[in-house]
Chains A and B, each alone.
Chain A
Amino acid sequence: MPEIAGRRSALGWALNLSALALVLLWTFPTAGLLVSSFRTADQIAGSGWWRAMVPADRNLILRAAPPAAQREHEGLFVLEGNLFDEADAPRAAISAFGVSSRAIDAHRPGTTAELRNGERIEVAANGDYRHSSAQAMQGRRGQRVFVTATIAPSFTLDNYRHVLLDPHNVEGMSRAFFNTLTVTIPATIIPILVAAFAAYALAWMAFPGRALLVAAIVGLLVVPLQLALIPLLKLHNDLGIGKGYVGVWLAHTGFGLPLAIYLLRNYMVGLPREIIENARVDGASELQIFVRIVLPLSFPALASFAIFQFLWTWNDLLVALVFLIDSSGETTVMTKNLLELLGTRGGNWEILATSAFVSIALPLLVFFSLQRYLVRGLLAGSVKGG
C-alpha cells in the first residue's frame, strides 16, 4: 500500500514486530538442528541448543596430574600444572571449586583447599593448580577437582567429519548422499524431456481429443501415488527390473509427468502466437519450432519444474522404499538413512542433527538460489479456481 496520509507509524512498528515474531517462530526449528550439529554430545545433553551462543556455567570434573609426576622441593612433594590442560579441555574461567562431590563449590579460586591426610591444593581462576604434600603421594590417578567454570561458546566440526568422512562409519551419509544424487538427476531430466514434447502438442497443435487429454492430466495431478505401489512393483518384477535404480527412475518419471505436462503446457500456451506463426512463415518445421523457439522461450517453466522435481525426488522416502531399496541396503538414500538413525540413534542428537542437516543442505541451497523460479512455478501450477 502506498504511504497514506494520517496513518501512524505505530501500526508500522506492530507490523514489523509481528512479522519478526513469525519469522523467528518459523526459523527456530531449523536453527536448532543447525546449531546442534556443531555441538558435542556433552554440550547437547548439558544445555538446550538455544544456550549454545552464550557463555554458560558448567560443572566439570577435572583431575590434577597423577602422583607419578610429583617433584620434591624444599621438603615438600609438589604437583603443578593446569587443570584444563591435563584434561585436554578448552580453558575457562573458574568461579568456584571443590574437592568433594558433596561440596563442589566450597572454595573460591585463588584459595587453598585442605585434603585428607594433610595434602593441600591451590587452584587459580585460570585453572593453574599447585598440589602439595609433606609425604610422597600414593596412587595411580591424580586428585579429583570439581570446578564450576564459565565456558565460552564453542563449536566443533567433528560431527560432520564423523558423518561424512569417516570410512569406518557404516551409518555415514556419504554413500547415501551419492545414491540420492544418482536417483535424483535422471529422475529430473527425463520427465522434463518427455513432458516438454507432450506439452507442446497440447498447447500448439490442433487435434481431436485435445481438451479431453488436458482434463485427464489435470485429474492425474492429484491421484495418490500410493495406488501405484503394488501394481507397479508387480510390473517391475514381471519385467525383470525388480528393485533398483531403473525402477525408481521410471516411477519418478511417471509420477512427475502430470505436473510437468501441466506446468509446461500452461506456460507454452501463453507464448505469443505470432512468434510461432512467424517461425512457420520462416519455413521452420514443427520440430524446429519446438526446439529452436518454444523450448528456449519456455526456460523459466522448465526451470520451475526441474526444481520441483529435484526437491521432490531428493526428499522422497516412499518411492525409494518401495522401488529402490532392497534387503542388501546398498542403495539406501538419505531419507531412509535418516529414518534408520532415528530408530537406532534416537538419543544421539549430534549424529542425528548432523545427518539431517547433511540431507537438507543441498535442497536448501537450491531453494535459496533458485527461489524465483520455484515461486513462479507454484503460481502457475496451482489450478486456478473461481
Chain B
Amino acid sequence: MNAALQGLITILLGVGGCVAYYTLSNLLVDTLLFPARGPHQARNIRRANLVRPWLFLAPALFVLAVYLAYPVIETLRLSLSERVAGDGSRFVGFANYVQMLSESKFREAMRNNLLWLVVVPAAATAFGLLAARLTDRIRWGSLAKSLIFMPMAISFVGAAVIFKLIYDFRPPGQAQIGALNALVLFLGGSEPRAWLTMPLWNNFFLMAVLVWIQTGFAMVILSAALRGIPEETIEAAIIDGAGPFQLFFRIQVPQIRGTIAVVWTTITVVVLKIFDIVFAMTNGQWGTQVLANYMYDKLFRAGDWGVGSASAVVLMLLVTPILVWNVANARREMR
C-alpha cells in the first residue's frame, strides 16, 4: 500500500527529524557554542541556559505561528479584500461584510447559531448534571458513565448517520423504521412526518445530535466536581434536614458553579464551530444553515473568499469573549 508506506516514512522522518533536531541543537549549544568548562564555564552555563528554552520551544512556536497565528491575520486581510484575476487581491474595505449582511442565508445562519448557542450548552450541561448525579450514587455507576460517555468517540458524520436512521421517514402505510415516527404512531399520532424538513423544528432535531454527543463530556467533568465537594458540607446539610433535592440544588450545585461555567463555555466553543452535523444531515437546507457551513459554502462552493473570510471573522469574534475569559483564568491560576 503506497500511502501506508508514505505514512511510515513520514513517521520515521518526522520523529527522526524531531529527535535529531533536539539532540543536535542541544549538543551544539553544550559542546561547541557554550561548553560548560574552561575559563568561561560560569558565563557559558548562563548563556546556554538562556538559549535552551528557545531550542525546546522553536518547532512548536514555528508551527503555531504558521498554522494558527498567521491564518488569523491573513483571514482578517482576506475578509477586507476581493480576489482579482490572476493571483492577486484588492482591498475593498467592508464591502464583503456589507454583502454578507444583506444575504438572507447569512441572517438565517446567525439566527440558527444563536439558537444552537442557547439550546445545546444548556441542554448538554443539564443532562450532564443529571447523569452525573444519577450515576454517582449507584453501584453500576461506572458502567452507566461509560455508556453515556460513549458518543464522544463517534464522529459527527457517524452520529449524523445514526440520527438519520432515527428520523427516517416512510410514506404512510409502510412500516416506519425510524424510531421517532414509530414512536409518534405508537403514541397515537395520525401520520408520520419528515422531521428534517420541518422548518425551525428541524434545527432542534439537529441540535439533539450534538447534545447526545456532548452530554457525556459534561457528565464526566461535573461528576468529578461533585465528588470534589467536601463531604462535610453535605453531611451538615443532611443534619440540618435538607431533602435530596434541596441538597442537590442548594448545597451541591452552588459549590460547582465554576465548573459548570467551564463546561458551558467549552461546549459553547464546540457549538460555534459546528459544521459536520449540519453538512451531513441537511447541508443547510430547509432553514438549517449555520455559520460554519455557510462559510464552507462560500469558500469552496461559491469560491468567494472575501465573504467566506468575513464569515470566518464573525466566528472568531464570537469566540473572542470566551478566549479572553479563559486567558484571564489561566493567568490568575499561574500566579
Contacts and interface: CB of A to CB of B under 8 A. Distances in A.
Determine direct contact between A and B, CB below 8 Å: yes
Interface of A: 1, 4, 11, 15-16, 18-19, 22-23, 26-30, 32-33, 36, 44-50, 178-179, 181-182, 185-186, 189-190, 193-195, 197-198, 200-202, 205-207, 210-211, 213-215, 217-232, 234-235, 245-246, 249-251, 253-255, 257-258, 261, 285-287, 290, 311, 314-318, 321-322, 331, 334-335, 338-339, 342, 346, 349, 352-353, 355-356, 359-360, 363-364, 366-368, 371, 374-375, 378-379, 382-386
B266 interface: yes
Given A338-B161, A364-B150, A232 B71 contact: yes
A182 B5 CA distance: 9
Interface string B38-62: 0000000000011011101101110
Nearest to B9: A186
Contact of A349 (B141, B156, B177, B316): B177
Contact of B53 (A29, A205, A321): A205
A211 B262 contact: no
Given A29-B163, A317-B276, A254 B158 contact: no
B58 to A, nearest CB: 9
A363 B154 contact: yes
B326 A221 contact: yes
Given A186-B7, A223-B316, A367 B150 contact: yes
Most central of B60, B131, B135, B177 by chain A CB within 10 Å? B60
Nearest to B1: A178
B28 to A, nearest CB: 12
B60 A261 contact: yes
Given A29-B166, A48-B179, A224-B316, 19 more contacts: A27-B150, A30-B150, A32-B165, A48-B178, A50-B182, A179-B3, A189-B15, A190-B11, A197-B22, A222-B319, A224-B272, A226-B275, A231-B71, A290-B56, A315-B154, A315-B158, A317-B157, A353-B161, A375-B220
A253 B63 contact: yes
25 contacts: A1-B234, A4-B238, A19-B134, A22-B148, A23-B144, A26-B147, A48-B179, A182-B6, A193-B14, A193-B15, A194-B63, A205-B52, A226-B296, A226-B315, A227-B312, A232-B67, A317-B280, A331-B3, A342-B161, A359-B158, A360-B158, A367-B150, A378-B221, A382-B263, A385-B325
Interface residues of B, number: 124
Given A222-B326, A227-B315, A339 B157 contact: yes
A201 B56 contact: yes
A199 to B, nearest CB: 8
A331 B7 CA distance: 13
B130 A22 contact: yes
Given A205-B56, A222-B326, A287-B22, A379 B10 contact: no
Contact of A318 (B162, B168, B276): B276
B85 interface: no
A286 B26 contact: yes
Contacts of B182: 48, 50
B155 A359 contact: yes
A254 B68 contact: yes
Contacts, number: 348
Contacts of A290: 56
Interface in B250-306: 257-259, 261-263, 265-266, 269, 272-273, 275-276, 279-280, 292, 295-296, 299-300, 305
Contacts of A189: 11, 14-15
B215 interface: yes
Interface string B135-170: 101101100101111111111111111111110100
Interface stretch (B101-109, B114-122, B327-335): B327-335
Contact of B156 (A1, A224, A315, A367): A315
Contacts of B316: 223-224, 227
B266 A382 contact: yes
B72 interface: yes
B304 to A, nearest CB: 11
Contacts of A217: 64
A15 B138 contact: yes
A219 B330 CA distance: 10
A223 B326 CA distance: 12
B220 A198 contact: no
Interface of B: 1, 3-4, 6-7, 10-11, 14-15, 18-19, 22-23, 26, 30, 49-50, 52-54, 56-57, 59-61, 63-64, 66-72, 74-75, 78, 127, 130-131, 134-135, 137-138, 140-141, 144, 146-166, 168, 174-179, 182, 212, 215-217, 220-221, 224, 234, 238, 244, 257-259, 261-263, 265-266, 269, 272-273, 275-276, 279-280, 292, 295-296, 299-300, 305, 308-309, 312-313, 315-316, 319, 322-323, 325-327, 329-331, 333-334
Contact of A356 (B1, B11, B161, B216): B161
A293 to B, nearest CB: 15
A186 B10 CA distance: 7
Contacts of A210: 53
A246 B261 contact: no
A223 B69 CA distance: 9
Contacts of A48: 175-179, 182
Contacts of B280: 317, 338-339, 342
Nearest to A16: B138
Contacts of A311: 152-153
Contact of B70 (A15, A44, A186, A231): A231
A194 B60 contact: yes
Contact of B158 (A218, A338, A385): A338
B135 to A, nearest CB: 6
Given A222-B319, A342-B164, A378 B220 contact: yes
B215 to A, nearest CB: 7
Contacts of A16: 138
Contacts of A49: 165, 177
Contacts of B165: 29, 32-33, 36, 49, 349, 352-353
A379 B137 contact: no
B7 A382 contact: no
Contacts of B168: 349
A182 B4 contact: yes
Nearest to A235: B66
Contacts of A321: 300
A202 B101 CA distance: 43
Contact of B275 (A185, A318, A364): A318
A225 B273 contact: yes
A250 B67 contact: yes
